[in-house]
Amino acid sequence: MDSITQAALGATVAGVIAGKRCNAKVLLAGALLGTLPDLDVFIDYGDDISNTVKHRGFSHSLLILLPFSLLLAGLFKRFKPLAGWSFSRLWFLIAASLITHPLLDTFTSYGTQLLWPIAGYYSLSSVFIIDPLYTLPLLIAIGVGLVKRPLLSRCCAIGLILSSVYLGWTLFAKGLIENRAEASIAAVSINADAVFITPTPLNTLLWRVVFLDGERYWEGLASVLDNQPNIEFIAQPKGQWPLAVEPSELTALQTFTHDFVRYDVQADDLVVSDLRLGMFGNLAFKFKFAELGDNGKWQPILPTRLPQGTTRGDMSKLRDRALGDQSINASLDLCAAATC
């Protein structure tokens, strides 16, 4: 999730645990702890693929954050003891403010290495990386609580409950779409190799459904407000890796995406894209792996991330589709409207 959301979450968690001792300093400490795991974005692992797949790694691991919280609590107790704070409560505040960060990230589509160094990316894929309906209750709770100081901790608790209920809704909504996706795929008699479902930007009404089918993948949109359960899918070529050898960076990307990747030749570039993040032809993570040489053969290069295209066109169609207008074509003409 975005930094503002993670800071707000850390602050409200700290406010609830502090109880009557909650004040602006406690909220600030919680906000700082809540954003701390994302400092790994400043680490350069040497290439764009590594920087992508290793983000949300050790700094988001419960196996690292829990011992780290004990260390921080011990240092506070040793060098800056807080009157009226037991070690257990201080540790609980630090640990909760830290670990709620990767737990929230797990609700997004990116993938979080919760048990690093044990391999594995965990993703519930029920929330977009920025979702105002999750963040606003937290921010409002902090604002109201700072105005009405005696109710600060209680306001934090109310905001945290509301945002948590919203997370529950996102899982319920995704479950509805999963059931529809299974039925729609079965109706077209296709044996899907794997299915990926994720909310479209800034909402949990409209969902994007992608499933793999050999050398193709199918993509469609479904709203929880649709009157008809059938999902209209568009088939697109998945492509194949054309070189004899697969570099380690490609293997890492395939593992990171659970093989939801697309291979394209764009001009003289060999591009591999993550199918999970973005919409239709406008995907967020695209990497150039090779260039076509003068001899007509591919020349591998250190993978480089390409910029995402800007979506143009009538975005009101996306709004109308979210509100259940199934007369709109599933692609929303975004492939033609985007700079891919």
Residue where a domain terminates, one of 130, 163, 198: 130
Kindly state whether residues 204 and 88 are assigned to the same domain. no
User: What's the pLDDT at 330?
Assistant: 52
DSSP notation for 218-237 = EEEEEETT-SS-PPPEEEEE
The string of DSSP codes covering 2-17 is -HHHHHHHHHHHHHHH
For residue 75, tell me if it sits in a domain.
yes
* Residue 60 located in a structural domain: yes
Tell me, yes or no, if the pTM score tops 0.85.
Answer: yes
Do 219 and 284 reside in the same domain of the chain?
A: yes
Q: Where are the alpha helices (DSSP H) in the chain?
A: 3-18, 24-35, 48-53, 62-79, 87-105, 132-147, 152-187, 248-257, 316-322, 334-337
Q: Do 17 and 125 share a domain, yes or no?
A: yes
Residue 145 in any domain: the answer is no
Question: What's the number of domains the chain is made of?
Answer: 2
Same domain for 253 and 332?
A: yes
pLDDT of residue 114: 97
Does 223 share its domain with 324?
Answer: yes
196 and 93 both lie in a single domain: no
Residue 167 domain-assigned?
no
Evaluate whether residue 144 is within a structural domain. Answer: no
Give the mean pLDDT per block of 10 residues along the chain (340 residues). Answer: 96 96 95 96 94 96 97 89 85 97 97 96 96 97 94 96 98 97 92 94 94 93 94 92 93 96 93 90 91 89 87 72 79 41
Decide if 151 is inside a domain.
Answer: no
Q: Is residue 197 part of a domain?
A: yes
The domain in which residue 23 lies consists of 3-130
End residue of a domain, out of 130, 153, 186: 130
Query: In what helix (H) or strand (E) does residue 279 lie, and over which residues does it extend?
Result: strand 278-279
